[in-house]
Structure 1
Amino acid sequence: MLPLVMRLPVSFAWSTPGAALLVAAAATTQEFAAAIGAFIVCGVLIVLAGLWPALGRAITNIPKPIASAMLAGILFPICLAPVAAAVEQPAIAVPMVLVWLLLARLAPRWAVPAAMLVAVIGIGVLAGPAVLASDAVRPQLQLVAPVFDPFVIVSLGVPLFIVTMAGQNVPGFAVMSTFGYRLAPRPVLVTSGAASVAAAFAGGHAINLAAITAAIMASPESNPDPARRWVATFTSGIVYLLLGAGAGLAAAVVQASPPIIITAVAGLALLGALVTSITGALEEPAHRITAIGTFLVTASGIAVAGIGSAFWGLVVGGVLMLWLRPRAGSTARRVREPSPESSPVGREPETAHE
């Protein structure tokens, strides 16, 4: 309803990096009710970020090398799944990967949907008519009573909040600004956080400001008149409700599938996100050791004191960044004392250019 009230093309989506984090959450807890508790805490933190600007700034100011490396560490094991699936379930995984590879060259936009379609067909052949006979085919809303486990909250809820803020909400605000829309953070964050809390009781994870879809609906492709582009976001919400009616069939397919196949499809879909996060993590040469340390700890999947690797990756990244930052004196010496490569001895004088 926010687009209707604000008359702005504000669009929301599920947290994509958050979904990647959830794929890896099995190492944190096997209790779904505890995950629900972590989702609720994440939603409350998003609301607080909207009501308390200092908290929002603190999260969004997490250095890019650390945030990107943590996300890369979360994604890496998932993106290995297509390789493992090709060995464990070759009848489904090999055709799926080959179709993805072919279309990645010829029609990149359709590579992941086509791979998913091949996987669904393979699962249907493997499981037979039992897929359609499953009770899960009929859409149903099932509420779950949350369990607030402190270890799961720290291992899952806090990293989910961080990646949602840094990986989705910040780019979302940037996209809207690119198209000339200045959004007040408070209503957006409070609304998305409250929606996250409500959705958590039905198993939904973080809801955030959209970035990629926002770039479509806030652009001239949506409507030449910037004042009318909010209609696209409002109607897309209605379409999402209609698509939700097919969620039961999707759930039935997932239940009938070997788990590695579902993870493999996610791995193919997240390869682009992995590349982007690794590139962002290693972009600044001065922080590459910090980024690699964060990545390795997060990707390791370790759990210390019951707390998962995503949190410890953030901790290790912060410690490395503080320890390895250049000292003021050494920086000043580097400025005053040119390196041998920059010495003019033995070289022709350079001509200054505008």
Structure 2
Amino acid sequence: MSDQINSRRRRLLGTTMAGISLMELGLSGLARAQSTDTPAGSHTVSFENLRQVNAGTLSIGYAEAGPQNGTVVILLHGWPYDIYSFAEVTPLLAAAGYRVIVPYLRGYGSTRFLSADTPRNGQQAVIAVDIIALMDALKIDQAIFGGFDWGARTANIIAALWPQRCKAMVSVSGYLIGSQEANQTPLPPKAEQTWWYLFYFATERGHAGYDANRHDFNKLIWRTASPKWNFDDATYDRSAESFNNPDHVAVVIHNYRWRLGLVKGEAQYDDLEQRLAKAPTISVPTITMEGDANGAPHPDPAAYAKKFTGKYAHRNIGGGIGHNLPQEAPKAFADAVIDVARF
């Protein structure tokens, strides 16, 4: 490795990372990654050596970094985002000795259904089942989970239903487990307005519109959910590639229609959904986080604090941080993962 690359890497990651090669990190372009002087969203770091594994009903695409014998951290993205929400978090955790797994959720990137006959289901329980299947396929007994949006909800579900598989958790926007019954309760008008896309997706016009305009639609969501995040086109387009997945639209539309009770889930997950509908508490060590400029619908931290019955802390992150907190404030997110592991 050249002295120039070593120098750049030291400037980026600090002296604690000097001994870790780019190959070990499983990343390319780290020299262009975020530093304290570079605004988030103004670079194009890329994961390399993406992997595939058959797990449950899927062939799941995922990035991996860090030592094989490290404590496992599984990082879960939301909608409309992808694994690159964790492009700057991953090397920080790998440098700290963690084995980091970053999967594409169903309907994103290189993740594919193994059978054309499998329903393109987006209900909350099935996404958690996917991640448990991924752990089984990779022979991972237990992991620390970190996520936001759909990913935080998935981490919440795993922590609630399979606590033996979850060592600890970092959850942006806190407790996000819901139910179809709870979602029937009307919200105040201002709150309903923030969910405009939920009602759009309930129509066939919305289905067709999302299919035809997913690139621009999701870019609008990025801007409204993170109004102070000045990401560039290259950063957005890197993630937008994952929306070209052939099942993306079907999974997204089903997810939001399922929430309103407009479509059914699969019967095999009914028991899990019944358990989730009771809003189970979470006993694993947890740090919840919230950005000060989150433009997406999200609960107040005080509303969910009592749902976490184990060791718990909440962190508000300032500086104009929006919904995509791991990508907008990667060091704060990585620090939370490292800290919760010590709880």
Report the TM-score, using the length of structure 2 for normalisation: 0.24
Instruction: Pick the structure with more helix per residue.
Output: 1
Structure number with bigger Rg: 1
Report the TM-score, using the length of structure 1 for normalisation: 0.24
Instruction: Pick the structure with more strand per residue.
Output: 2
Compare relative contact order (CA 8 Å, sep 6+) and give the higher one, 1 or 2: 1
